[in-house]
Structure 1
Amino acid sequence: MGLLELFLIAVGLSMDAFAVAVCKGLSMRKMRYGQAAVIALFFGGFQALMPLIGWILGRQFEKYITSVDHWIAFVLLGLIGGNMIREALGKDDEETVEATDHLNVKELLMMAIATSIDALAVGITFAFLQVSIVPAVSFIGCTTFVLAFAGVCIGKIFGAKYKSRAELLGGIILILIGLKILLEHLGILPF
């Protein structure tokens, strides 16, 4: 596998993480580059870890993983998006404001897993293609880190202008991403 193909795979795998990072940036009240780096590290780390796990698991578990990955991503993103919508429609009291200014590690973990499940299947494919896994997962992780960091920054720019609707929009986008993943894997939408 050449560098161009690997780059295209890395960018493709990073798109869901980028979109979710934009949503996280939308909900930020103040731009904190350290938090943006932590968010990007979660997404980049899981985008690198999942293909490695998939590569290790290899051929024997392929049919089990690829048959449910879309459902797992759909449920996780739907839960997170629904929670964001619920919070957006709820009262904006002092506790809610404080909560949106801090990173929720459990939420980040769920989002990172949900957006990287497809990478698990890619890792299985890498095992079949005999791809050198360490450079491949490093490249995927770094690409995702950069795009997720940029996504948080882009989301914050729009969030500063549209604070009142930012979290609602973010929740809707997460649910739509989950639905898109599900519909693509069910063959309703073309890949």
Structure 2
Amino acid sequence: MSPFTIAMLAISMSVDAFAVAVGRGAAIGRPKFRETMRTGLVFGIIEAITPIIGWAAGVAASQFVQAVDHWIAFALLGTVGVHMLYASTQKSEAAPSAQLSLPLLMATAIGTSLDAMAVGVSLAFLDVNIFVIAAAIGVATFLMSSGGMLVGRLIGERFGRIAEALAGVVLVGLGISILIEHLSA
């Protein structure tokens, strides 16, 4: 996987955390630096761990599905991408709490990182260094969620939904690219 592709994947996986952080930043109004860093660290660490878990599950299953691995990668990435596109069109049900406890913050981070786990499964079928990719996803998520907290009051929830839609398009495109590459080989 090229550095550009890794960067696009990392940014795509970080967008849902960014959207949540924008909402939190908007709800808090003026988030404290400590809260901004805590949010970024929790989201970044969890988002870095989940693709490794998915990758390990995919590696365990890879010997059984090698003949169709590119179709599985395409289906998983496409499904996550389409889901992100759909989610970007939905209004959030409630404003995020300005004072999230650490367990609630972690639960939120896990909820936004399930797509990274699914992508991790699809990466098991490719010749990639999962640890480099997971680190890139973690760093991107830390930066985007911390930044989302800081600018949340300025840009609001709408921009977060636009970014999520773009990330969905990138994931669908990555899935199509993998499929085309394997079918033309």
Give TM-score, length-normalised by structure 2.
0.65
Question: What is residue 55 of structure 2 aligned with on the other side?
Answer: 55
Alpha-carbon separation, structure 2, partners of 1:173 and 1:84:
15
Task: State whether residues 35 and 103 of structure 1, in contact with CA within 8 Å, keep that contact through their aligned partners in structure 2.
Answer: no
Question: What is residue 84 of structure 1 aligned with on the other side?
Answer: 95
Question: What is residue 148 of structure 2 aligned with on the other side?
Answer: 151
Residue type of the partner of 1:114?
G
Query: Judging changes above 3 Å, is the alpha-carbon distance between structure 1 residues 69 and 3 closer, same or farther for their aligned structure 2 residues?
Result: closer
What is the aligned-residue RMSD (CA, Å)? 3.8
After TM superposition, give the deviation of residue 22 of structure 1 in Å: 0.2
Secondary structure of 1:129's match?
Answer: coil
Alpha-carbon separation, structure 1, partners of 2:134 and 2:33:
25
Secondary structure of 1:103's match?
Answer: coil
Question: What is residue 35 of structure 2 aligned with on the other side?
Answer: 35
Question: What is residue 25 of structure 2 aligned with on the other side?
Answer: 25
Q: How many residues align?
A: 154
Alpha-carbon separation, structure 2, partners of 1:36 and 1:15:
16
Task: State whether residues 48 and 135 of structure 2, in contact with CA within 8 Å, keep that contact through their aligned partners in structure 1.
Answer: yes
Q: Would you say 1:123 and 2:120 are equivalent positions?
A: yes
After TM superposition, give the deviation of residue 69 of structure 1 in Å: 7.7
Alpha-carbon separation, structure 1, partners of 2:80 and 2:12:
16
Question: What is residue 45 of structure 1 aligned with on the other side?
Answer: 45
Alpha-carbon separation, structure 2, partners of 1:155 and 1:50:
25
In the alignment, structure 1 segments of 5+ residues that lack a partner are 74-80, 86-98, 160-168, 185-190
Task: State whether residues 23 and 173 of structure 1, in contact with CA within 8 Å, keep that contact through their aligned partners in structure 2.
Answer: no
- Per-residue deviation, residues 133-190 of structure 1 (Å, max 9, x unmatched): 211111110011111111100113x38xxxxxxxxx86x999x79xx8xxx9xxxxxx
Residue type of the partner of 1:104?
S
Question: What is residue 104 of structure 2 aligned with on the other side?
Answer: 107
Task: State whether residues 44 and 142 of structure 1, in contact with CA within 8 Å, keep that contact through their aligned partners in structure 2.
Answer: yes
Task: State whether residues 25 and 152 of structure 2, in contact with CA within 8 Å, keep that contact through their aligned partners in structure 1.
Answer: yes
Give TM-score, length-normalised by structure 1.
0.63
Alpha-carbon separation, structure 2, partners of 1:173 and 1:108:
22
After TM superposition, give the deviation of residue 113 of structure 1 in Å: 1.4
Alpha-carbon separation, structure 2, partners of 1:40 and 1:54:
22
Task: State whether residues 30 and 150 of structure 2, in contact with CA within 8 Å, keep that contact through their aligned partners in structure 1.
Answer: no
- Per-residue deviation, residues 90-129 of structure 1 (Å, max 9, x unmatched): xxxxxxxxx73x3322331222112111111111122111
Task: State whether residues 25 and 152 of structure 1, in contact with CA within 8 Å, keep that contact through their aligned partners in structure 2.
Answer: yes
Residue type of the partner of 1:19?
A
Residue type of the partner of 2:18?
F
Residue type of the partner of 1:135?
V
After TM superposition, give the deviation of residue 131 of structure 1 in Å: 1.1
Alpha-carbon separation, structure 1, partners of 2:114 and 2:36:
22
Alpha-carbon separation, structure 1, partners of 2:7 and 2:19:
18
